[in-house]
Amino acid sequence: MKARIAHISDTHLGTRPRSGVRYNVWGEEMRSQLLENDFYERFLEIFDKISELNPPVDLVVHSGDLYNSPWEGNPSQPPVVAQETAITVLQNFIKKTGIPVLIIEGNHGLYRLLEVSLLDSLKLAVPGIEVATQQDLKQAVRDSEPLVHSFDKLDVYCFPFMDAAVLRSAGLTASFDDWITSHQTRIKSRPSIAVAHGMDIDETLFKSIFSIDYDYIALGHDHHQHQQSIGAWYAGSPERWRFDEDRHDKGFLVIDIETGSKPVVTPQILEYDRLFLNEKLKIAKDDTVESVTDKVLALFDKKGVKGSWNPKTAARIRLVFEGKATRVSSFDLGMALEALRIKVLSKDSDYNIVQFVWQVKQSVDEEFTAASYPEIESEYLIQDPEEDFQEYLNTLEIDKSLDPSVLTKIAVRALEHAVGKKEGPLNSESIMEDDK
């Protein structure tokens, strides 16, 4: 038996970049901010593209983080326009196509201390969607029942976000794994998939899910669209949530599934009108504040951001300054950049820029930061530490006796210990144990 699905994730409706943003610019006058509106437009674009697929899909799965808030860094509910967008787009899509939609709860859009879910209210407003919330997950575990939704051609086993630290503190880690292997096992006579929201780095992607022979595993939480393992993919985020996502393709996935066969996964990549720059600039020892400022303006000219204001294409820019000049302190440079930002974001500016932020790294003791999303820096300090460290190693001359893969494992494990994601000894035995 065959089935075809579209896999989307991490749409983060309601995201509102604030730092370094041009004042009083609107995506929809007096309703949504310009950069906030980018996320709404991308949500509509994805469902428009899915509705045009030929052959059509049998189901759309959303693997978590429909909304950007609430979460631990922002307890407020999503903006009204975010909720209206979700309702309107989903209603129109289902009415036009008749294709059902399943959404699971991620760590964003999740009320941590309340027994309610925004997805439940969305389900009431939109006939034809199914949801799986964290409360549904807790109830299924308590009742020793599967959390599964069955459709015409396939079964979908749901794994909404669950914080591993919460399970550990309650002494329920083993019981949760047992529930997965005992009650989330598939029905082999028809296509079966899993939908989960989690990542290895924060231990929210539970390994026992991969012990069950699902035909496909639809993953969310990591914004980088990529294959996690055979038959398991992250769809990634359709809009660029952080500046370090500029290196990744964005979009959604179409998966053709046949029971007992490897799924055929076809990435659908989106294109963007808005320029997105995440650049590094070197500060030389003999630089002055004026010469560094000139470097910034030269970069703007080189990247084509000089021109009349256009809200559709206005650039989002983040610069990281590295190095130390004898006559330039990070504070002085920060003040000069603040003045430059006021100039390039003004109404009479010669530059088509909607956001300008930066980070100055001159030494361990001196750092001036203008972060793009200060409210989320703690969660995604490094989006992909393994990939980032491997790229760093490629810039070095490494002794041939050293194994780059082992060095990467050591670096990633050290980072996990530093942020509290790993406990216990940090030695060769513990690192090698991860590979077993």
Q: Cβ(12)–Cβ(237) under 8 Å?
A: yes
**HSE of 209, CA atoms in CB hemisphere, 13 A:** 29
Rounded CA-CA distance 248/10 in Å is 14
Per-residue pLDDT, 419: 46
Per-residue pLDDT, 426: 61
Phi, psi of 126 (to 5 degrees): -130, 100
Per-residue pLDDT, 114: 86
Per-residue pLDDT, 417: 58
- Asked if residue 155 has pLDDT above 90, the reply is yes
Per-residue pLDDT, 429: 57
Predicted TM-score (pTM) of this structure: 0.84
pLDDT category at 377 given cuts 50, 70, 90 is very low
Mean pLDDT of all residues belonging to the chain:
89
370: left (phi over 0), alpha (psi -120 to 50) or beta: beta
Instruction: Please write the tens of the pLDDT for every residue from 344-370.
Output: 999 999 999 999 999 988 654 454 454
Instruction: Please write the tens of the pLDDT for every residue from 253-303.
Output: 999 999 989 999 999 999 999 999 999 999 999 999 999 999 999 999 999
Lowest pLDDT segment from 52-61, 169-178, 363-372, 403-412 = 363-372
- Find the helix packing angle between 118-125 and 80-97, rounded to 10°: 40
Rounded CA-CA distance 343/351 in Å is 9
Lowest pLDDT segment from 45-59, 143-157, 179-193, 389-403 = 389-403
Per-residue pLDDT, 411: 74
**Which residues, at least 6 apart from 389, have a Cβ–Cβ distance to it below 8 Å?**
407, 408, 411, 412
- Asked if residue 139 has pLDDT above 90, the reply is yes
Which residues on neighbouring strands pair with residue 62, listed in sequence order?
A: 8, 103
Better pLDDT: 385 or 170: 170
Rounded CA-CA distance 336/283 in Å is 14
Token pair recorded at residue 186: 């598939």
- The angle subtended at Cα 190 by Cα 189 and Cα 196, nearest 5°, is 125
Domain limits, CATH 3.60.21.10, in the chain = 2-269
2-269 folds as Purple Acid Phosphatase; chain A, domain 2 (3.60.21)
Per-residue pLDDT, 387: 65
Comparing CA positions, the residue from 174, 241, 254, 172 lying closest to residue 207 is: 174
Scanning 216-311, the segments in alpha helix (DSSP H) are 289-302
> What burial letters (b/e) apply to 369-382, b meaning 16+ CB within 10 Å?
bbebbebbeeebee
